[in-house]
Amino acid sequence: MLPDSISALISALSKLPGVGPRSAERIALHLVQTDSTLVKQLADSILLAREKIQFCTTCGALTEKSPCSICGDSRRDSFLICVVERAVDILSVEKSGTFRGKFHVLGGKISPLDGVEPEDLKISDLEKRLAHEPIKEIIIALGTDVEGDATSNYLAKRLARNGLKISRIGFGLPAGSGLEFADELTLNRALESRREMT
């Protein structure tokens, strides 16, 4: 039997994404035997990052100040918005290196089976941006799974208005997956070969 404090640490670690019970145990046993200065640095950096990071009130990106550096960058194309599912997807698109517009994070995909309805996503925020920003094109960059398709079609219908082009990336993206699995070249081609929806 492990001491209570180690069991509690294992239990906390195993709630992290990608950390199974065995990894949690290995990490916990490592932490309790390693230099306490290093452990304190790790704990402090976790707390500091959690304290400092917030969601950009405009686009939903992870940022230390809101609006984020992308929203506040006047050199970026304000006519062009790339809609992504999660804040981390911004990193994938940024790594592709060619996109010079701005972003909007939906915060999920429509999935009635999981209880995610359109009103649970940041769609009305996007409509507000359409009313106040000079947006001419929306590029929908959601995954290629069933929910990604359904959400893209829903968005294309709901956001359709005069003078707004709505397109969706797709070409070359692995079927049924999210942006994080696409390499930079693939994502680049997918952006360039986006198909117009409306």
CA atoms within 13 A on the CB side of 19: 15
Q: Check residue 166 for interaction with Zn ion (CB under 5 A).
A: no
Q: Check residue 84 for interaction with Zn ion (CB under 5 A).
A: no
Applying CB under 5 A, among 56, 106, 166, 187 the residue interacting with Zn ion is: 56
Q: Would you state the structure tokens that stand for residue 80, as one six-digit string?
A: 């062009």
Shortest approach of Zn ion to residue 103 CB, angstroms?
7
Applying CB under 5 A, among 10, 71, 139, 179 the residue interacting with Zn ion is: 71
Piece of the chain touching Zn ion by CB under 5 A; list 43-51, 58-66, 79-87, 145-153: 58-66
Q: Is residue 87 within 8 Å of 61, Cβ to Cβ?
A: yes
Query: Nearest 5°: CA angle at 173, between 114 and 134?
Result: 80
Report helix angle 4-13 to 21-31, nearest 10: 130
CB nearer Zn ion, residue 60 or residue 170: 60
Q: Check residue 82 for interaction with Zn ion (CB under 5 A).
A: no
- Backbone region of residue 151 per phi and psi (left: phi > 0; alpha: psi in -120 to 50; beta: other values): alpha
Q: How many residues contact Zn ion, by CB under 5 A?
A: 7
- Which residues contact Zn ion by CB under 5 A? 56, 58-59, 61, 67-68, 71
